[in-house]
Amino acid sequence: MRLASAHDAPDTGHEADFRRLATAVAKYWVCKRGPHHAYESLECLGGNGYTELFPMARRLREAPVNAVWEGSGNVIALDVLRALAKQPAAAEAFLAEMSTTLGTDERYDAQFRRMHALLEAASSDPGSAAGLARQLIEALALTLQAQVLLTHAPAPVATAFLAGRLDPTTRGMEYGTLPAEVDLGALVDRA
């Protein structure tokens, strides 16, 4: 919704610069995360989820096509590098927005520093930037998600994201690996 609102704004200024980079980042991340999310959702429904009588099997099968017809991972990664090279204001707008939540949580601050270092490395050496591109986009996506949640979401939701996705001491590779500090009751009540 944050990105959608940026697309409603005029074609110049902060919103236009922000959406130039954030659109590619969101597209990459949604396409990459989608199939795994569909797989986990299918598993929640057990055998019913797997059969063709339920819609989940089709959702899982169709999920990878987003990254084929909306631009593959590599092609979006190259688009992000193109934005950095041709429109420096896009990175500046992105950083300015991400800076607004600095100081609210040390896990976010550490993520911001990681993202910033990757951004500087990719911008200062375009020759080797392609090798860093996927790492960079992932860092941009996670920072953007955390920033939006810290700004707009109820505290238990933002905390769950910071603990489960950003903090290297508590995050897991899979769904359902949230640490004990997360208020699961609040998350379930919200759903």
Ligand X SMILES: Cc1cc2nc3c(=O)[nH]c(=O)nc-3n(C[C@H](O)[C@H](O)[C@H](O)COP(=O)(O)OP(=O)(O)OC[C@H]3O[C@@H](n4cnc5c(N)ncnc54)[C@H](O)[C@@H]3O)c2cc1C
For ligand X, which is the closer residue by CB, 1 or 68?
68
- Beta carbons of 157 and 187 less than 8 angstroms apart: yes
- Beta carbons of 165 and 114 less than 8 angstroms apart: no
- Provide the token pair at 91: 């990175």
For ligand X, which is the closer residue by CB, 1 or 69?
69
Residue 72 engages ligand X in binding (rule: CB under 6 A): yes
For ligand X, which is the closer residue by CB, 131 or 172?
131
Residue 69 engages ligand X in binding (rule: CB under 6 A): yes
Residue 128 engages ligand X in binding (rule: CB under 6 A): no
Residue 75 engages ligand X in binding (rule: CB under 6 A): yes
Contact residues for 148 (Cβ-Cβ < 8 A; gap 6+): 2
Return d(Cα 177, Cα 4) in angstroms, integer. 30
* 137-156 positions binding ligand X, by CB under 6 A: none
For ligand X, which is the closer residue by CB, 31 or 149?
31
Return d(Cα 106, Cα 102) in angstroms, integer. 8
Alpha-helical regions (H) of 45-125: 46-50, 56-62, 66-69, 73-86, 88-99, 106-124
> Where does this chain bind ligand X (CB under 6 A)?
65, 68-69, 72-75
